[in-house]
C-alpha cells in the first residue's frame, strides 16, 4: 500500500476540531506532504493549510485527496460524495480512514473505475491475521494508553519515537489507526479488525525483534470507554508492552461521545498493569503525557509537576514541553536489562 503524495486534505463540514484529528495529525507530522485543505460550507475545523478547490490543488501538484475526518460509526455523509467524484474526475486518488469503504458507494466506485484512479481504505487491512498467542517474544515495546479516546496517544507515540531516536535508541512507531497509517505509511487499523483477531493483529504489527529494539505502539481507546474498551484490551494483550505511558486531557469531564465520567490516571495505571500482566508480567508505567492545549503555560507546568509528584514518573505535555523526561526514565529503567 503506497499512497501517492502530496495530499489534499478534505475536511467536509465536520462540526468540531476533534472530528478533524486525522487531518491535524497529518499536518503536524508531515506538513511537507500537504498542499492544502478543502472545506465545505459550515465546516468548523481548520487544518491551517491554504484553502484550495480541487482544480487549484491539482495545479499545486496534489495526487491524493485524504478524507481526513472521523465520524461516530465511520459513515461517509451522502453530501460529500459529489466532491469525491469531482476529485476523481480531476485525476486524484482518494484515501479514507472511515469504516465505510469508499468503493461501497456506487457513484464513487463507478467514477474511480471510469477515471482509472485508486481508492485506499486504510482501515481495512488486506492481511489475514491469526488469533493471538500471548507468548512473550523478543524485542521491547512501549504502548501509549489513555483515560479516553482522542487525548494524544498517537502524538505521544510519535514524539517518543522521535525523542528515542535522538537519544540513539532503535525505535519504530507502529500505527494502529488511520492517521498513524497516513503518517507512517504502514500499520493496521485495529478497531477495524474482526474482534477475534484484535490481539493477533497487534502481535503481527510488532513482531519479534532485536532485544534492544523498541516498538512504540500507538494506543487506541481506553480500558474505561464503554464503546471501545475491547479494542484497547486486545491491543494491550497483543502488544505485551514492557512500558506504557498514560495520556490524559485534564479539562475533559465526560468521555468522548458517551455519558461516562473520565477515570483517574491512577485507575488507568492500575487497570493497565492488572490486564497487561497477563502477557507481560514486567509491565510498568514510565510516564504520563498530559494534553494541556486548553491551559495557559503556568497551569500547564503546574499540572505536569503535580502529576509527576503524585505518580512518581515524569509527566509532560509532549507537544509543549517535549518528551526528554520520559525518554530519560525509559533509558534508566531498562539500562540494566
Grid coordinates belonging to 328: 530519560
Options 33-41, 166-174, 186-194, 321-329: segment touching a copy of itself (CB under 8 A): 186-194
Handedness of CA 113, 116, 117, 123 (dihedral sign): positive
- Check binding of 326 to a copy of itself (CB under 8 A): no
| Residue 318 CA neighbour count, 13 Å, CB half | 27
φ, ψ for residue 15 (rounded to 5)?
Answer: -85, -15
CB of 198: closest distance to a copy of itself in angstroms? 4
End-to-end Cα separation, the chain, in angstroms? 37
- Check binding of 23 to a copy of itself (CB under 8 A): no
Task: Determine which residue in the list 18, 28, 74, 101 makes contact with a copy of itself, applying CB under 8 A.
Answer: 74
CB of 251: closest distance to a copy of itself in angstroms? 21
- Check binding of 196 to a copy of itself (CB under 8 A): yes
CB of 313: closest distance to a copy of itself in angstroms? 23
Closest CA to 154 of 183, 127, 120: 183
In this structure, the dihedral spanned by the alpha carbons of residues 130, 134, 140 and 142, taken in order and rounded to 10 degrees, is 90
- Residue (71 or 118) nearer to a copy of itself, CB: 71
SS3 label, residue 129: coil
- Check binding of 271 to a copy of itself (CB under 8 A): yes
Options 20-28, 32-40, 151-159, 195-203: segment touching a copy of itself (CB under 8 A): 195-203
φ, ψ for residue 297 (rounded to 5)?
Answer: -55, -45
Match 479494542 to its residue by C-alpha cell.
Answer: 231
Binding mask 86-125 for a copy of itself (x = CB under 8 A): -------------x--------------------------
**Strand (E) or helix (H) holding 289:** strand 284-290
CB of 180: closest distance to a copy of itself in angstroms? 16
Site for a copy of itself in 121-140 (CB under 8 A): 130-135
- Give the contacts of 204 (CB within 8 A, at least 6 positions apart): 127, 129, 130, 188
Options 10-18, 273-281, 284-292, 319-327: segment touching a copy of itself (CB under 8 A): 273-281
- Residue (253 or 259) nearer to a copy of itself, CB: 259
Instruction: Pick left, alpha or beta for residue 137 (phi over 0 → left; psi -120 to 50 → alpha; otherwise beta).
Output: beta
Burial 204-215 (b: 16+ CB within 10 A, else e): bbbeebeeebbb
CB of 231: closest distance to a copy of itself in angstroms? 5
Site for a copy of itself in 225-264 (CB under 8 A): 226-235, 237-238, 257-260
Number of residues that bind a copy of itself (CB under 8 A): 42
- Check binding of 194 to a copy of itself (CB under 8 A): yes
- Residue (31 or 136) nearer to a copy of itself, CB: 136
> Quick check: 44 and 16 in contact, CB under 8 A?
yes
Distance from the Cα of residue 49 to its chain's centroid? 21
List interacting residues with a copy of itself (CB under 8 A).
72-74, 99, 130-135, 190-196, 198-200, 224, 226-235, 237-238, 257-260, 271, 274-275, 278-279
Amino acid at each position: 500500500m503506497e499512497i501517492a503524495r502530496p495530499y489534499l486534505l478534505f475536511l467536509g463540514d465536520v462540526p468540531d476540531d476533534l472530528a478533524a484529528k486525522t487531518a491535524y495529525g497529518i499536518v503536524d507530522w508531515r506538513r511537507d506532504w500537504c498542499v492544502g485543505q478543502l472545506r465545505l460550507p459550515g465546516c468548523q475545523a481548520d487544518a491551517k493549510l491554504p484553502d484550495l478547490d480541487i482544480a487549484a490543488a491539482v495545479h499545486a501538484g496534489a495526487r491524493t485527496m485524504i478524507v481526513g475526518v472521523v465520524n461516530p460509526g465511520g459513515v461517509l455523509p451522502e453530501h460529500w460524495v459529489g466532491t469525491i467524484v469531482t476529485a476523481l474526475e480531476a485525476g486524484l486518488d482518494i484515501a479514507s480512514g472511515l469504516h465505510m469503504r469508499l468503493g461501497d458507494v456506487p457513484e464513487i466506485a463507478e467514477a474511480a473505475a471510469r477515471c482509472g484512479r485508486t481508492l485506499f481504505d486504510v482501515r481495512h487491512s488486506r492481511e489475514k491475521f491469526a488469533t493471538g498467542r500471548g507468548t512473550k517474544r523478543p524485542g521491547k515495546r512501549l504502548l501509549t494508553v489513555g483515560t479516553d479516546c482522542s487525548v494524544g496517544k498517537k502524538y505521544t507515540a510519535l514524539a517518543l519515537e522521535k525523542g528515542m531516536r535522538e537519544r540513539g535508541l532503535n525505535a519504530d512507531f507502529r500505527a494502529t489507526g488511520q492517521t498513524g497509517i497516513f503518517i507512517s505509511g504502514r500499520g493496521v487499523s485495529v478497531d477495524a479488525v474482526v474482534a477475534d483477531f484484535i490481539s493477533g493483529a497487534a502481535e503481527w504489527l510488532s513482531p519479534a525483534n532485536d532485544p534492544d529494539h523498541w516498538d512504540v505502539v500507538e494506543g487506541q481507546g481506553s480500558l474505561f470507554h464503554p464503546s471501545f474498551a475491547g479494542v484497547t484490551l486486545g491491543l494491550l494483550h497483543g502488544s505485551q508492552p514492557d512500558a506504557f505511558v498514560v495520556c490524559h486531557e485534564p479539562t475533559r469531564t465526560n468521555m468522548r461521545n458517551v455519558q461516562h465520567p473520565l477515570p483517574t490516571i491512577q485507575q488507568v495505571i492500575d487497570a493497565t498493569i492488572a490486564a497487561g500482566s497477563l502477557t507481560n508480567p514486567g509491565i510498568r508505567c514510565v510516564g504520563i503525557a498530559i494534553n494541556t492545549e486548553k491551559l495557559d503555560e503556568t497551569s500547564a507546568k503546574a499540572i505536569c509537576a503535580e502529576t509527576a509528584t503524585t505518580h512518581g514518573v515524569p509527566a509532560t505535555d509532549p507537544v509543549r514541553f517535549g518528551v526528554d523526561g520520559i525518554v530519560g526514565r525509559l533509558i534508566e529503567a531498562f539500562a540494566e536489562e
